Structure 1
Amino acid sequence: MFYFGQEQWNWLVAVYLFLGGMGAMVMAISTIIHRVKAFGQDNTLLMIWGNLTGFAMLSVGSAMLFYHLLDHLAVWHVLLGVFNKPDSWIAWGTWSIIFGMVWGLIYTLPHIPTPKFLGWCQLLKFFKWFGSKYAGPMAWGTVFMSVFTAVYTGMLLQSFPAVALWHNPGIPVLFTVSAVSTALATLLVLQYVVVRENDHELRHRFELIDTWLIGIELIIVLGFFFYLFNGSLNAQASHDLLWSDPVWLYGFVVGGLLLPFIINLAMVTHKLPTNGFLVIVSAILVLIGGYILRHYMLLAGIWELPYPK
């Protein structure tokens, strides 16, 4: 056997995986808290900003993947993959992104005032009426497709058996936990910077849940350390590449996980007073760490192939 690092899935795909999982979960959480009126609050403004932000993230992420295609017309093969190759995760993920974006936008539209210069648009009026009349199906359809998208980003990598780092059940779990954590970080930034509603209970709950998720992510990453260290030669090559790189070690593990975990834990246990500055700093660290995770998981993907005869 011989081993070599892959270069085909570069930073463009990392951005796609990062924005795809995070944007999808931003839409899912925003829709849920509005639909169930979490903590007896309306949450409409946060839902609008969350869904529009998630929509933008998914749009940019999908554009990165489209740009990465050598043959841009080949995107039709991806869309038709659910029929031609039903086991294609990228095909199912593409459709889940499309439906999640469309349904989430339709659910959001009735809550956005129509600008005067668009008052004549009958199509916009129709979608507002449709989103209002079928708010329930649109909401839960958005949540389902968004959660599926977040899980899919990990399942996509897990489907490559020639890369030990990717081909294990921990990857979908790690990517899903990270997607929810980064989504909560995004919503916290929106709450403190843009929305600024009197929703202290919701903010506190987001901070508490994100603290748990960061802690779980730390445990999973520690599990990956031992899994790769004691694994095959393929896995050990990925281990050496990851844990010898200062950006992974200090940028992700320390800066993207340990520091925000300590800051959040200090605030939720009242060792430090909760304030917007600390929350935003912690959230930004989580977001940076979320991207580094995807970037280095792709970079450290070592292919294992037999020697040619």
Structure 2
Amino acid sequence: MKEIELSTAEEALIELSPVNKLWDGYTKKYTFRGQGNSAWNLLPKALRKETKFNHDFIIDSISKRSNRDQIELEYEAIHEFIEYANLAGFFVANDEKIYMSNESENFIEYHNKIGKGQLPWPTKEYYPVIAMAQHCGLATCFLDFTLQPYVALYFGAKSILQKYKDNSLKFSVYAIEVENSSFTQGNEKDDFFFSNKEKRISKPRYQLIQNNTYTNSYQVAQKGVFLALIRNWKRPNSRAEIISVEEYVKFSDDLIKFNIPRQESKKILRSLTKFNIDALHLFPGPYGIGEYIKERVLWDDKK
């Protein structure tokens, strides 16, 4: 991973400009994510220590869970989301395919295959509903990214202003080149068949999720995509493997981290609104209007 320290709003706007030649190239494709603290890792919410799941049959902290424990917690949370969304009368993306998968064989058997690693988690039919749950605030194995660097800059700058008052802190914007073999193993069955059974070991990997049947107006406005932590050939009883994106690509230059001082965040947000990068445009509808009014107060020079 390459780290770049930026000291001013002007530097941030230049380095993270959509027209920066760094993002150009026939074989290049970058995705971006802003985070409100440069000390945070790139780790999906479902894998974070502070995350709590609404299931009392597994009480261990994440540091003590097995791979199977962790997978089953995520699996149960998604099925609970589907159940309550259906009860409330909301459309749930791809739920008919999920139910067909479960009905084609005994539900318990299917559940066990997920838990034992005989199927990867998540499988493709779950991508749309996980994307939907992610945008509703549920803890999932997806991480939100965007194809627009200024959108990532906006979220990082706004987050640090909302969470911290210490101007000595920094926020970060990550740029990840995803058109490489680390992120493009799109078919979960590609490496499922080995002649040597010893190769059947736990193989967590991050995969770009861009095209799925679930979208909403926010995701479209934000040019939103996801990185998903896919787990293949899990050792079910081994300790749950917690791997961040940084660890996944630690020996690669495909990940760039830009660190920016909090004291520049107000100026950055004021500048970004001139490019229609603000809550009014990134959250179309009444919610975005309210957020826009609040964020104008947030980056007011008098505050």
**Under TM normalisation by the shorter chain, which class is it?**
under 0.3
Larger relative contact order (CA 8 Å, sep ≥ 6):
2
Q: Which has the higher helix share?
A: 1
Q: Which has the higher strand share?
A: 2
TM-score (norm 1): 0.23
TM-score (norm 2): 0.24
